[in-house]
């Protein structure tokens, strides 16, 4: 069984827990930082609010069911949809979407390989 890591994301008072293969968590952390760095440059009206990845951990035991654990691929798919929907005219989104889609493709391959084993 593959080793998983959990990312803890915070947006306002809302927490979200994302489960990722431990080999890919650093990429989610780096992507989150890059997206936050670039958000202020976007001028479109439909820029999504993006949570901050505030912590990573190897083990997670939730005792409050109001905070579900989201699968890494599901989270990255939502992220890709949100950024693909941005109608930006003055800042090219292509590099941000490329980074999101690269992680998306890697996770798809990882999950496919895991189900084949």
With 0-12 / 13-18 / 19 or more C-beta atoms within 10 angstroms meaning exposed / middle / buried, residue 100 is buried
- So what's the pLDDT on residue 114? 87
Note the pLDDT tens digit of each residue in 47-89: 999 999 999 999 999 998 888 899 999 999 999 999 999 988 7
Confidence category of residue 1, pLDDT binned at 50, 70, 90: low
Cα separation, 44 vs 46, whole angstroms? 6
pTM, whole model, 2 decimals?
0.92
Note the pLDDT tens digit of each residue in 76-86: 999 999 999 99
Q: Where are the domains of the chain?
A: 4-116
């Amino acid at each position: 069984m593959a080793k998983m890591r959990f990312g803890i994301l915070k947006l306002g008072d809302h927490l979200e827990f994302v489960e990722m293969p431990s080999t890919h968590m650093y990429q989610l952390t780096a992507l989150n930082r890059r997206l936050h760095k670039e958000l202020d440059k976007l001028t479109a009206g439909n820029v999504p609010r993006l949570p901050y990845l505030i912590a990573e951990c190897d083990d997670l035991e939730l005792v409050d069911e109001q905070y579900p654990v989201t699968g890494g691929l599901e989270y990255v798919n939502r992220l890709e949809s949100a950024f693909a929907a941005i109608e930006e005219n003055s800042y090219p989104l292509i590099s941000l979407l490329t980074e999101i889609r690269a992680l998306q493709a890697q996770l798809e391959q990882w999950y496919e390989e895991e189900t084949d084993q």
